[in-house]
Amino acid sequence: MKTVVVGCGNLLAGDDGVGIHVVRELAPHLEEVEGVDVVEVAAGGMGLLDVLVGYHRAVLVDATDGAGSRPGEVRMIREEEIKTGGFRTWSLHGFGPAEALALGRKVIPGLLPGEVVIIGIEASRKDGLGRGLSPEVAAAVPRAAGLVLKVLGVVR
């Protein structure tokens, strides 16, 4: 089964860059894992769909903006939750992975992975400015990386 792990975000936009930080931490652990590719996507939105085509499974890592969640909280979000509005990713452009997946399923049925999981890390700084992560979000990077490894079955 071909799997892609996608770090979403912008390193120049504070906590929005957390997905990139997580996949950079993961990359050395996944180099020898057959059938798993690691990709960084700064574009988000519709640009994400091009990356997903041709894979059976996708694990997306992105900043989230869940009302009431504490900064740095890491959670796994299945696609069913995306469809029911149980969460939203945080995007500077208002069009993140959740919206792209929903539209992609309608526009190009059958081309996107059958299984999509999002590892969401609750953002602290949501003003979209500044380099680096807030302390709470930076502390969540290893936890998020560990959760991705569990989802992939690399560790238990």
The overall pTM is greater than 0.75? yes
Q: Which domains does the chain have, with CATH numbers?
A: 3-152 (3.40.50.1450)
For the sheet with 115-122, list strands across it. Answer: 36-41, 3-8, 57-64, 115-122, 74-78
pLDDT in single tens digits along all 156 residues of the chain? 899 999 988 888 888 899 999 999 999 999 889 999 999 998 666 778 889 988 999 999 998 887 567 999 999 988 777 654 545 555 555 566 777 787 888 887 788 898 999 999 999 876 666 778 999 999 999 999 999 999 999 886
Per the DSSP assignment, residues forming a β-bridge with 36 are 3
Per-residue HEC secondary structure of 48-117 comes to HHHHHCCCCEEEEEEEECCCCCCCCCEEEEEHHHHHHCCCCECCCCCCCHHHHHHHHHHHCCCCCCCEEE
